[in-house]
Every structure is written in structure tokens, then in C-alpha cells.
Amino acid sequence: MKIAFFDTKSYWKEFFEPMAKEYGYEITFFNERLTAETAKLAAGHDATCSFVNDEVPAEAIRELHDLGVKVLLLRCAGFDSVDLAVAKECGMPVLRVPAYSPESVAEQGAALLLAVNRKTHLAYERSTKFNFDIAGLEGICLHGRTAGVIGTGKIGQCMINILKGIGMNIIAYDAFPNPNLGLEYVELDELYARSDVITIHCPLMPSTQHMINREAISKMKDGVIFINVARGLLADSEALAEGVESGKIRGIGMDVCEVEHQYFFEDRSNLTEHDPTLARLLSNENVLLSGHLAFLTEEALTAMARVTLDNLKAFEEGKELVNEVK
């Protein structure tokens, strides 16, 4: 089996290349993102392997199908980049990695929470200049405060365990509550009103896009901290900017953003113009953005490579495709 691997970075090659040899698979690494324009690069391959910033619309899928590609591999959990209806029409299974060290993602969320609350990034900037004045770096003690967790899947559960370790009280919302977790599930309006910290761990779907908007923020407790290590489009960026500028939101920690397709995984410091809303957020010292690196641990990268290649092996051998996106 030959794999056309798109949006290659050094860390992907480091973990995928040696493991592919174990499976007897051949990988061609392309620096280009997978799009309708670059799909032609997959000629002569049996599968493509793409990530969150690749784009696999109808035109790309039909091009890949015509080139003989048989299966679409996603080395991530999110699948909103793929036109699933057209993939099904073309008989091309879409196989994802539903869980790759959920602890790693949750730990990044916790790191952002602690940093934006205690203004670690600002303290670091001052100390590098030998400025040890701590005025203006006040935070809040999280112990005894209430954390509202939206989405209680694997990553949400890991986040809950971390927040419990800090000593926070947990309330949760999920469209499909899990009665086995022993959590206090509440409706979103109650979660907004009671939470000192809100952390979101939902998949991106039409029903969840911009679920954090002006109306939702207006219902939140004054001084709330918002954390998003899920998908950028879950939150309206303009509403977040307004919220943090007005002081309604104490701080924002994000590993994702709405326009990350234009920026993430590349050095964009040479650009003279930037998305105005993203620039507005980044200019605020109470906003901390990391560039979609919650997955970037040895454990997660190993799991992503292993599950991706296991998915291909199952397809090749005609076995049950347990990780197929239906």
C-alpha cells in the first residue's frame, strides 16, 4: 500500500516513517496541504493521509477517486474537513484517529488555564528583561471555584480529572450525558451562570458552530476564564474579543482559532497584514493562544501513527473498520 502524506512536518515524518516500514507501507511525504488543487499529487497511491488543516471537499475527493485512491486516512479526530457524503458516494472510507492520548490534549488545556489565570506569559516576558515588578499580575485561586465542562468525552473526562486535582467543583453539559461518570449535569444556561472557568471539548458540527457567541457570553459569570482546545469554530472570535476587552471574560486560553487554516503550523511572521479579529485577540494580554499543539507529545504522535496505520491495515485486509466515520 502506498500512502500520499500531506502537510508534512518534521515531527510527522519522525513518527510515521519508521512505523510504516514495520507495516510494509510506502509513504510519499508532501509538504503541500491536501486541497482540490493539490489532490493530483496523490496519483499512484492507494491512500491519502491528511490532518486538520487539509481541505478535502467534493472536488478533491472526486479527483482522488479518479486517480485510484481507495481510502482517506485522517491522522486526527476531527473530520469536518472532509465531504463525507461525496466520499460515501465514491466508495472511499474515511478512517480517523478518534483518541490519541486524550491526556495530552487535556494537559495543554490545563496549562493554558493556569498560565492565563496567573499571567505566566506576562511574568516571563518581564523577567527576560530583568523586570521583576509583579504589579498587575494578579490571578484567582482556582481551588474551590467551579469549572463548567462542555463535552464529557475522553478529553473532557481527562480535563475533569485534572481540575478535580486542583480542587475545583465540576458541573458539566453534554448533549448525551454519561450517567456512569457521577457528574452534575446541568443545562448550558446554568453552566454559564455558575462557572468561574468554562472549558469546551465538543466536536465541530453545524449544531455546535459558534455555540459560544455573544448571547452565551452575556449569560456567563463576570470574570469567567474560557478555555478551548477543541475546535476554533466552536466560538465566535469577535464575541470573544468583545468579552475580554470589556472585562466580562477574565482570560482566554486557546489552542485553536477560527482562521487557523491561514496561519497554523507555519511561520507567518513575515506577513504584513493579518486577520483583524485574530490580531485583536492576540493584542490583548489576557489572551493566550498556542498554535494547535495540544497533540504534540511523544505519546500522542506515536498513537496517531499507530492507529492511522492500523486503520489502513484493516482496510487492506478487509476487516471491520472500527474507526470509520459513518
Cα dist from 183 to 16, 161, 166, 174, 204, whole Å: 38, 11, 17, 11, 23
d(CA 119, CA 289): 13
> What DSSP string describes 216-258?
HHHTSPTTEEEEE-S-GGGB-HHHHHHHHHHTSEEEEEES--T
Q: Which cell numbers hold the place of 302?
A: 506515536
End-to-end CA distance of the chain: 23
Q: Which cell numbers hold the place of 27?
A: 509513504
d(CA 238, CA 210): 11
Strand order across the 47-50 sheet: 26-29, 2-5, 47-50, 71-74, 94-95
| Cα three-residue angle 208-210-213, rounded to 5 degrees | 130
- Choose the catalytic residue: 33, 62, 201, 292: 292
Q: Is 231 tagged catalytic?
A: yes
- Choose the catalytic residue: 65, 96, 201, 231: 231
What are residue 56's DSSP bridge partners? 82
DSSP annotation of 37 reads: T
Please, where are the H alpha helices in the chain?
A: 10-23, 58-67, 84-89, 102-118, 120-128, 154-166, 188-194, 214-218, 237-246, 276-282, 298-316
Q: Residue 4 phi/psi, 5° resolution?
A: -95, 110
- Choose the catalytic residue: 45, 62, 260, 280: 260
Q: Which cell numbers hold the place of 30?
A: 508532501
Q: Is 260 tagged catalytic?
A: yes
d(CA 174, CA 170): 13
> What DSSP string describes 156-194?
HHHHHHHHHHHT-EEEEE-SS--GGG---B--HHHHHHH
Catalytically active residues, by annotation = 231, 260, 292
